[in-house]
Structure 1
């Protein structure tokens, strides 16, 4: 018979996954929604599919790190596991209520670190590596965004400029007897290509979010043997999906419109940089924040575009005196 504590653990894990979906869906698909490419429901659907793929593949490495690397698996007793998950979910719920993108990985790892300090079982060398990644990854994202925005963006915009659509790329035509899906009639071929790239990269971000964040919801349960890694992935993605279809709407609004006005090209750059950084770290089993890295890239890109002085081509060109 399943004990009451196990049931509570599963419910709390689902609660954490629910809040992860609320935060990560906005971070992954905020640029695509802000560029009027997809609706929020479509974003949640795509995020669920690709988060599952990420969690089922690369995400296993992160689950192993968080379930037995930071502290030994034996430390995740049923009570300790529920406590770690509860405080992780509570912190994420507060951030989602206020529509602020939160670092699910930092929150979950912080709770596990607290357990490790309390029991004297923390792997300090591994934590040094993880914290170093937390510092370096956002700085890399910020720097890449700033350099591209300040020196490269004008050249990219000249060759790859896309229109910020006033209405979604895919629309439902109800003029005939049976509704049918059609492309926005105001979109050019270049807009269609750019839109496909942005949505594709957003799906890539969903993959990286699943790879990094599934562990945050189920690592304590995997550590104490309540669920296997496969079962944990399914539980995490189901809960993440529910959060993506419900409370993610506020975070989507914050990331898509509240930080900076993203044209399609800028959304494409932000998505590529954020997803690549997190996917690489997840491959090495390091839990990292997609929210922080992506937000830093958005800030860097916005600052670079606003303060642009010259492009790289202009800097490399010889002066008239030469």
Structure 2
């Protein structure tokens, strides 16, 4: 029975990694595709490759936070599988509906819910750090991306620098995908830190799963971010991605599993506001934000309820 649970937990981690590749990593190349610097399939290829590199080289900090910084004690095998299956299921549902849900919301909510069910003490300092950073990300993203977009619009001619802007945008998107993999891989493999002692093996497994998800399933979300939230050009796309990269690296440094969809979408909106409010679909943005908050609590409630039945 224990062996079956172990295999189930590993399968759940792979499922979660595929979900991250399909949803979170796709955010990095939405603006690239919006500015016509790469088509959707090529964007998915680049996003997956650089996300894999980020996962295996810089994913340890967030992995440690998810594994031991949110709840204390040992995460049981069946508990790890439950966390990952519930969180990944919610993300996959959001992908099917073209609403890019922050994977961090569902995983952290599920980890907290499992702690309540299985008797793990909550690490309130870690939870406060994560939630606090999530709350300020939209404001930082909006302000930074708007400011950078204004500067680029003033000093960089779109017509005279179009080729250079497209190259810069592709490079920036690749770095953001790298940061997304580094930030998000811990959400897939963090709950397994008590089962597998080798962090390198965990990161490799998670990175490969993210790569698979990006290549197979991310084009839907890339298309949604490219056109549904804000229609932006190359200069504003550079501003949006540059902002997301800065916020992601801050989160990685402190071990915070940043909500990459939240950061990128807010950055896309902020840079798009240079052209006026009408350039963003505020109705869809509002529905998406409400769905994210609901997903956090839904993941917590589902995991706690199922966990109590199991326990």
Q: Give me the CA root mean square deviation.
A: 2.0
Quote the Cα distance in structure 2 between the aligned partners of 1:207 and 1:145: 19
Scaled by the length of structure 2, what TM-score is found? 0.83
Structure 1 gaps of 5+ residues are 164-187, 309-322
Deviation at 1:242, TM superposition (A): 1.4
CA contact (8 A) 1:105 1:212 kept: no
Once the two structures are superposed, residues 11-40 of structure 1 have per-residue CA deviations (whole angstroms, 9 ceiling, x without a partner) of: 111111111111123200111111111122
CA contact (8 A) 2:54 2:181 kept: yes
Number of residue pairs the alignment of both structures matches: 277
Quote the Cα distance in structure 2 between the aligned partners of 1:31 and 1:204: 13
Corresponding residue number in structure 2 for 1:90: 89
CA contact (8 A) 1:99 1:251 kept: yes
Distance 1:4 1:120, change over 3 A: closer
2:156 to 154, 157, 160: 160
CA contact (8 A) 1:201 1:272 kept: yes
Once the two structures are superposed, residues 214-255 of structure 1 have per-residue CA deviations (whole angstroms, 9 ceiling, x without a partner) of: 011111112x22362111111111111111112211101111
> Partner of 1:26: helix, strand, or coil?
helix
Corresponding residue number in structure 2 for 1:176: none
2:267 to 297, 302, 318: 297
Quote the Cα distance in structure 2 between the aligned partners of 1:147 and 1:192: 23
Please state if 1:101 is matched with 2:96. Answer: no
Quote the Cα distance in structure 2 between the aligned partners of 1:14 and 1:273: 29
CA contact (8 A) 1:105 1:216 kept: yes
Please state if 1:196 is matched with 2:195. Answer: no
Corresponding residue number in structure 1 for 2:191: 220
> Partner of 1:3: helix, strand, or coil?
helix
Once the two structures are superposed, residues 178-225 of structure 1 have per-residue CA deviations (whole angstroms, 9 ceiling, x without a partner) of: xxxxxxxxxx7x222111110110011111101110011111112x22
Distance 1:68 1:120, change over 3 A: closer
CA contact (8 A) 1:194 1:265 kept: yes
> Partner of 2:24: helix, strand, or coil?
helix
Scaled by the length of structure 1, what TM-score is found? 0.81
Larger Rg: 1
Q: How is 1:1-322 mapped onto 2 (pairs within 5 angstroms)? A: 3-74=3-74, 76-118=75-117, 119-148=119-148, 153=150, 156-162=152-158, 190-222=161-193, 224-226=194-196, 228-306=198-276
Distance 1:60 1:292, change over 3 A: same
**Worse-matched range after superposition: 292-301 or 78-87:** 292-301
Distance 1:191 1:148, change over 3 A: closer
Distance 1:17 1:120, change over 3 A: closer
> Greater helix share, 1 or 2?
2
Once the two structures are superposed, residues 85-127 of structure 1 have per-residue CA deviations (whole angstroms, 9 ceiling, x without a partner) of: 1101111011110111111112111111112233151101111
Quote the Cα distance in structure 2 between the aligned partners of 1:82 and 1:39: 36
Structure 2 gaps of 5+ residues are 279-311
CA contact (8 A) 2:52 2:210 kept: no
Quote the Cα distance in structure 2 between the aligned partners of 1:307 and 1:97: 28
